[in-house]
Structure 1
Amino acid sequence: MNKPMKLTLTEELPTGKDWVYECKYDGFRGVLSCNKDSITLMSRTGKDLTNRFPEILSWWSYYKKVLQSETPFLLDGEIIISTTAFRTNFEALQQRGRMKNKETIQQAAHTRPATFMAFDLLERKGKDLRHSPLSKRKEELHQLLSSNPGCVQATPVYNSLDDLTELVVSHLAEGIVAKHKNSTYEDGKRNHSWFKWKYWRTVKGAVTAFTPSNGYYELSLYEDGNPIPLGQVKHGFNQEQTSTLQDFFKKHGHTTGHQYQLPPSVCLAVNCLHAKDTELREPMFNAFRFDLTPEDCNSRLKQWDLSNMPEELTFTNLDKPFWEMSDLTKQDLLVYLRMMAPLLLPHLDKKKLTIIRFPDGIHGESFFQKHYPDHSPDVLTRWTEGGESFMICDNWRGVLWLGNQGTIEFHIPFNTVNEEDPNEIVIDLDPASEDDFQDAVFAANWFKHAFDDLNVTSFVKTSGGKGIQIHVPLPSGALRYKETRALTESLSHLLVKQDKERFTTERLKKKRAGRLYIDYVQHAVDKTIIAPYSPRGREHATVACPLFWEEVNESLHPSQFTITTVPHRVATHGCPWAQYEYSRQHQDLSNLLSLVRH
């Protein structure tokens, strides 16, 4: 197998009508060869990865009847495990690459499947396309994979660098690739037709050791005067910087074995793609930071640095306690919102937003706000209706600006501003207390089975409080509010009839007698529900967290999902609602419609 074509690293991507752009995913470069009866997945170095990724074998088993007439074809692309549409989990992919046990690999493929993002088509029907212009190869690639929603997909192409940059920055993705439309494919070569730009995070640490044999400098953070390893850096220094730093080590440091060690004094800024524990991903020296002391370089600064907050916004009072019992501050809220904005924003899109602000944390005064704030910078959208100005939050900077204003909770209606009909059904299951949470688990599964019987796809999340909420995405204009009310009311009463001792639709809390309240009334015009992934203004900083249906069991508890656990959970397991929009567009409502329109 010939080696894949290479990319040239640049700090400034070319622009103009002759260039197209695509996301640079952080994964394994791979070449996928599809023949009539088999497929082979090879790494860029020629290692056979086919058996490491059985989900791609399963894809071929499912689609080969559709694609067999196109064989043999050869795809160049990136193997990734995605966290959002653009951000990937490279560490999880590395773990997959090291797995050798067949059962372990199969389990990982089921719970955290990888995706092959194809960005080039080198052969089709046995014909070599390498000498065809990129634009032609891209056109044929998208024709080939156009109807495929599975784990082999064509990488989206953008004509606007600005549009893609906004997406990459908002998702905290790896970077951008620029390719000349007329470029041919040159195996194993690097030229000026393909460029890559990396979206660096810049972290700071005190340099504490130098190993002459490999040229690596070790960096540390400091917490309460104690060093915490940050990572190593070798590349990015010019000759003068290298000489200066090495001379400083020899003059002020001491040797331990084959290593120079230095009392903390000099701080460096280092570019990287991310930092995990004691390892920096692709570290590159950025600058000496003589304005910082080693004590300035702590874990909270690292947390902030890795978030790449927008420079055009001003953030204040970052150390203000917001959840005192959990020792969480306003900075923790903002970092959570920065990480999760790509998954929160699709649910806020084109919807009038109601927020709950806690300017002094959850133990201070709080208040609702639904009107457009007059002092807002240009990060929110104003929507005027009935002489009132409402706010729509449709970008990550708006989420962060609201967070800086003390916004913890984001509540949304059930329809967009340009439609009168709901674009989702939501049923709120509210148990009498947190101790009765298993009643909500039972009811949630009951509703899932009811929707399954109707051949309708449903999704589930915690409320962030003591309850569970069921969401059913709806295509545009599919149902009227009166029809969704008829459905949810009928189903709710059916469950109550089944077990009147545990469930009720009684609105008055004093009459519920400890039973779980099935709130279908809340699903109505001008009513709102907590948005998926929104934090809650409650103790322990819980989150309204999307779940996998198999998690809704006796082990589930709402306290498991907080602003500190949810980002790691999504990076590790993926977003349970990743197919929410796909389900909306492909929802089969025929059985449901016959039920409500009989």
Structure 2
Amino acid sequence: MFINPMLLETAPAGAFSHSGFIFEPKVDGHRLIYSQQSGSVRLYTRHNNDCTRQYPELVMPFDSDIIFDGEVACTDPGTGLNDFEAVMSRFSTRQQSKINQLTKTLPATFAIFDVLQYKGKDLRKLPLIERKAILHSLKLPSSSFGIVPHIEGAGEELFSQIEAMGMEGVVGKRKDSQYVSRRSKDWLKVINWSQAEVYISGYKKAEFGWLASVPDASGKLRPAGIIEHGPSPKHKQAFRGVCQQLVTGEDKNNVYLEPRIKAKVKMRNWTKSGMLRIPVFMDFVV
């Protein structure tokens, strides 16, 4: 049985503290609904895609039928931090022999932060703090399962620790919130963004997107991703007013520019291949 997950809003003013909230680290993986019905376990992504085959180490039954919400993640052994690219590699692997090998070389962990059903009872209308108490009372079936820790009230303090460790961010949740299958201001995320300066070296033809480039070790520019979010209509208008003078060529998908326009972006992190992960335009650099 699949339940559409409760989704996060962005905290309007960044990190905050509030006695009516609990705060927990944001796990950098992908959303997972774990459903055990009549003793049979199925795993689903947030979009109701069955991914049970991809994570055999998580197909472990509990003492009674249950539905959890959480994140599946992989850990980088070098840093001890969640490795988003690694879990995406696990998710995209389809060959059974390769999946079996990856359970040993790139093991997945299910980080549970909510329990939605247990022993035939729907828990979604209970206050979050009561669901958390039920969750913490459960016996986990293996070391591939963990419960996301939380603290009460002290969101800014937790965010400072998360920032210092280079983790993804913090989630604040109202203690009395019921579980609803939609985006809700009762659950707020605060992302630990990184920042970078890039050159805009082109733009996409079909839909909005600025091509970003950064210098490599030799000083030569290399592609670093596509900026699709962030600029206001005024920023886009200013860009259009300048870019036609800088065109150096085009192909079927893109128009290429002299790298004269510089921009500040925020992003989740740099990928291992040196690309910006989810870059968001902040402002032009003049």
Gapped regions of structure 1 (runs ≥ 5): 291-598
By how many angstroms is 1:38 displaced?
A: 2.0
Conserved? CA contact 2:32–2:72, under 8 Å: yes
Q: Is the 8 A contact 2:125 2:178 kept in 1?
A: yes
TM-score in terms of structure 1 length: 0.45
The 1:225/1:77 distance shift into structure 2, 3 A limit, reads closer
- 3-state SS of paired residue (1:135): helix
Change (3 A) 1:222 1:158: same
Aligned residue in 2 for 1:6? 7
Q: How does 1:477-488 map to 2 (within 5 A)?
A: none
Contact 1:77 1:117 in 2 (8 A): yes
| Structure showing greater relative contact order (alpha-carbon pairs closer than 8 Å, 6 or more residues apart) | 2
The answer to whether structure 1 residue 31 and structure 2 residue 33 are counterparts is yes
Contact conserved, 1:206 with 1:220, CA < 8 A, in 2?
yes
Partner of 2:275: 279
Tell me how far apart the structure 2 counterparts of residues 275 and 213 of structure 1 sit (CA, whole Å): 26
- Alignment partners' CA distance in 2, 1:82 and 1:18: 31
Contact 2:248 2:258 in 1 (8 A): no
Counterpart of 1:112 (choices 59, 84, 106) is 106
From 127, 131, 137, give the equivalent of 2:125: 131
Q: Is 1:43 the equivalent of 2:37?
A: no
CA contact (8 A) 1:87 1:174 kept: no
1:269-418 to 2 correspondences below 5 Å: 269-276=264-271, 277-290=273-286
What is the count of residue pairs matched by the alignment?
Answer: 279
CA distance in 2, matches of 1:97, 1:148: 22
* Equivalent position of 1:206 in the other structure: 199
Residue 231 of structure 2 corresponds to 237
- Residues 570-589 of structure 1: pairs in structure 2 closer than 5 A: none
Which of residues 14, 22, 27 is equivalent to 2:24?
Answer: 22
Identify the residue that residue 162 of structure 2 maps to in structure 1.
168
CA distance in 2, matches of 1:37, 1:219: 50
Letter in 2 for 1:6: L
Note closer, same or farther for the CA distance 1:21–1:227 as it changes in structure 2 (3 Å cut).
same
Q: d(CA) in 2 for partners of 1:38 and 1:171?
A: 38
Residue 114 of structure 2 contacts residue 135 of structure 2 at CA under 8 Å; is this kept in 1? yes
Q: Deviations over 1:402-438 (max 9, x none)?
A: xxxxxxxxxxxxxxxxxxxxxxxxxxxxxxxxxxxxx
* Runs (5+) with no aligned partner, structure 2: none
Moved more, 225-234 or 108-117: 225-234
Q: CA 1:86/1:16 → structure 2, altered by over 3 Å: closer, same or farther?
A: farther
* Deviations 1:358-381 (CA, angstroms, capped at 9, x unpaired): xxxxxxxxxxxxxxxxxxxxxxxx
Cα distance in structure 2, aligned partners of 1:149 and 1:53: 14
Give the whole-Å Cα distance in 2 for the aligned partners of 1:81 and 1:18: 31
- Partner-residue secondary structure (3-state), 1:247: helix
Q: Could you say which residue in structure 2 is the equivalent of 1:155? A: 148
Tell me by how many angstroms 1:54 deviates: 0.7
Which residue type is aligned with residue 177 of structure 2?
S
Report the 3-state secondary structure (helix = DSSP H, G, I; strand = E; otherwise coil) of the residue aligned with 1:196: strand
1:35 shift after superposition:
3.4
Q: Report the CA distance between 1:37 and its aligned residue.
A: 2.7
Hey, what's the Cα distance between the residues in 1 that align with 2:6 and 2:269?
A: 25
CA contact (8 A) 1:19 1:180 kept: yes
Aligned-partner Cα distance in 2 for 1:273–1:267: 19
Preserved contact between residue 76 and residue 122 of structure 1 (Cα < 8 Å): yes
The code of the aligned residue for 1:116 comes to F
1:251 is displaced (CA, Å) by 3.0
Look up the match of 1:190: 183
SS of equivalent residue, structure 2 residue 91: helix
Percent of matched pairs sharing the same residue? 26
* Bigger Rg over Cα: 1
Structure-2 separation of matches of 1:180 and 1:86: 29
1:31/1:219 CA distance change after superposition, 3 Å: same
Q: Distance in 2 between matches of 1:148 and 1:37?
A: 13
Post-superposition shift, 1:226? 2.3
Name the CA distance, whole Å, in 2 between partners of 1:164 and 1:228.
36
Q: Is residue 209 of structure 2 the alignment partner of residue 216 of structure 1? A: yes
**Quick one: which amino acid aligns to residue 96 of structure 2?**
K
Name the SS for the 2:151 alignment partner.
coil
Contact 1:211 1:217 in 2 (8 A): yes
Give, in angstroms, the shift of residue 92 of structure 1.
0.9
Q: CA deviation at 1:225?
A: 4.9
Give me the whole-angstrom Cα distance separating, in 2, the residues matched to 1:204 and 1:119. 35
> Does the CA-based 8 Å contact 1:86-1:171 persist in structure 2?
no
Equivalent residues in 2 for 1:436-585 (5 A)? none
* Distance across 1 between alignment mates of 2:109 and 2:39: 21
CA contact (8 A) 1:53 1:114 kept: yes
Query: Which one has a larger percent helix, Structure 1 or Structure 2?
Result: 1
CA offsets per residue over residues 492-512 of structure 1, 9 Å max, x none?
Answer: xxxxxxxxxxxxxxxxxxxxx
Partner of 1:53: 55
- Is the Cα contact below 8 Å between 1:19 and 1:179 reproduced in 2? yes
| Partner in structure 1 of residue 242 of structure 2 | 248
Which whole-Å deviations, capped at 9, do the CAs of 1:14-42 have from their partners, x for residues lacking one?
A: 42210001111111101001235321111
Q: Distance in 2 between matches of 1:250 and 1:202?
A: 28
The whole-number CA distance in structure 2 between the counterparts of 1:225 and 1:149 is 49
The whole-number CA distance in structure 2 between the counterparts of 1:120 and 1:51 is 23
C-alpha distance 151-229 of structure 1, shift in aligned 2 (>3 A): same
Deviation by residue 1:211-235 (Cα, 9 ceiling, x = unmatched): 1312111111224452211211110
1:265 corresponding residue in structure 2: 260
Separation of aligned partners in 2, 1:271 and 1:27: 19
TM superposition score normalised by structure 2 = 0.91
> Are 1:78 and 1:118, in contact at CA under 8 Å, matched by a contact in 2?
yes
Distance 1:165 1:225, change over 3 A: closer
| CA separation of 1:136 and 1:43: change in aligned 2, threshold 3 A | same
